[in-house]
Amino acid sequence: MIVLGIETSCDETAAAIVSCTSLGRGIRSNIVRRQVTEHEPYGGVVPEIAARAHLDHLDKVINRALAKANATLADVDGLAAATGPGLIGGLVVGTMMAKGLAWGIGKPFVAVNHLEGHALTVRLTDDVNFPYLLLLVSGGHCQVLVCAGVGCYTRLGTTLDDAAGEAFDKTAKLIGLGYPGGPAIERIAREGDASRFDLPRPLKGKPGCDFSFSGLKTAVRHITAERGWLDPIDQADLAASVELAICDTLVDRTENAIAWFRHHHPEGKTVVAAGGVAANIRLRRRLATLAEKTGLRFIAPPPMLCTDNGAMIAWAGLERLRIGLVDGFDEPLRPRWPLDAAASPRPGAGIKA
């Protein structure tokens, strides 16, 4: 089975081809065009600019993905697109393209929840069976979930305010670093002293698996306002202190989630991290140590498959397609679309694309 996946929910224009045959599964191509120069002057993603950039580049990105995979549209068994959650303008571009191509070549269309793309990527890169515990940490989401099957997720905790990636991005801006903030903080934190600034770890030590990061952002704002100007050593020390505080919070909440998971799913063997923030090396090391301590194995996709890409959408599409989950051309877009249906039901009326 071969699936072409399209991702346009935020600021990456991405297309990929993945396959699963009797010989195994793999990524045949994975083309990602990041819109860094478009958004950098504004310090964050501008939705209208993002949508126009997707429109300008998506056809070329798809053609490159096909060429790299040495495939034509006739070879694919289905077309998948992220239909939510995300920025509506970008979702329209990617979904209309996938539906149009699917209709044109008479192949099925699969609507993929972007979060499910992150959640299932480890099943493409590693041998991971359900159920597993997932820390999903990206620019827009910060959740801990039990993944019990394709389309079958239970949310144990979520953020009360900012997502972990948002905390990286907003504090990076205050420290005077570029966008996206996570990689910028990670880069200079290597040279910094993480014990120099004592930053808050909201909810740490409290029961439950929810997260909060707004106090951290406020604390960093106070430090930068007080000093007025940060020299490179201050910047590195503050970046290292922020990275440590975010990791401490994530690890503390994941520890509670692991206790719950081991009690309710004794057959589960794996803790997974996914989403852009899971590319962070310090976080990966900390989670690996935590998992080892609790007798579980820790797996995160390679960093380039943690941040948004087309392979994650193609793979989630393939996982759905092979169990017969196909969508109609009237499938709506869902700018807000939680993974856990019980936490907030999948809305019946989305926006028509």
Residues that bind Zn ion (CB under 5 A): 138, 308
Residue 61 CA to chain centroid, in angstroms?
A: 20
Q: Which is nearer to ligand KG4, 276 or 310 (CB)?
A: 276
Burial zone of 325 (CB within 10 Å; 0-12 exposed, 13-18 middle, 19+ buried): middle
Q: Binding mask 331-350 vs ligand KG4 (x if CB under 6 A, - otherwise)?
A: --------------------
Structure tokens, 310: 């087309």
Structure tokens, 264: 């309710």
Residue 315 site contact among Zn ion, ligand KG4, none (CB < 5 to 8 Å, cut-off depends on kind): none
Given the rule CB under 6 A, which of 180-188, 206-214, 228-236, 342-350 is the region that contacts ligand KG4?
180-188
* Residue 154 near residue 201, CB atoms below 8 Å: no
Should residue 140 be labelled a site residue for ligand KG4 when binding is judged by CB under 6 A?
Answer: yes
Structure tokens, 298: 């820790």
How many angstroms separate the Cα of 92 from the Cα of each of 4, 59, 335?
A: 17, 14, 10
Should residue 162 be labelled a site residue for ligand KG4 when binding is judged by CB under 6 A?
Answer: no
Should residue 138 be labelled a site residue for ligand KG4 when binding is judged by CB under 6 A?
Answer: yes
CB atoms within 10 A of CB 332: 17
Interface residue with ligand KG4, options 5, 89, 182, 350 (CB under 6 A): 182
Please tell me the distance from the alpha carbon of residue 216 to that of residue 203, in angstroms, as a whole number: 11
Upper half-sphere CA count for residue 321 (Cβ side, 13 Å) = 26
DSSP letters of 233-299?
Answer: HHHHHHHHHHHHHHHHHHHHHHHHHHHHHHHH-TT--EEEEESGGGG-HHHHHHHHHHHHHTT-EEE
Given the rule CB under 6 A, which of 57-65, 89-97, 147-155, 177-185 is the region that contacts ligand KG4?
177-185
Given the rule CB under 6 A, which of 181-189, 195-203, 205-213, 284-292 is the region that contacts ligand KG4?
181-189
Should residue 165 be labelled a site residue for ligand KG4 when binding is judged by CB under 6 A?
Answer: yes
Looking at residues 265 to 284 of the shown chain, list those that interact with ligand KG4 (rule: CB under 6 A): 275-277, 279-280
Given the rule CB under 6 A, which of 165-173, 191-199, 221-229, 259-267 is the region that contacts ligand KG4?
165-173
Q: Which is nearer to ligand KG4, 168 or 337 (CB)?
A: 168
Residue 184 CA to chain centroid, in angstroms?
A: 17
Residues near ligand KG4 (CB under 6 A) are: 10, 138-140, 165, 168-169, 180-183, 186, 275-277, 279-280, 307-308
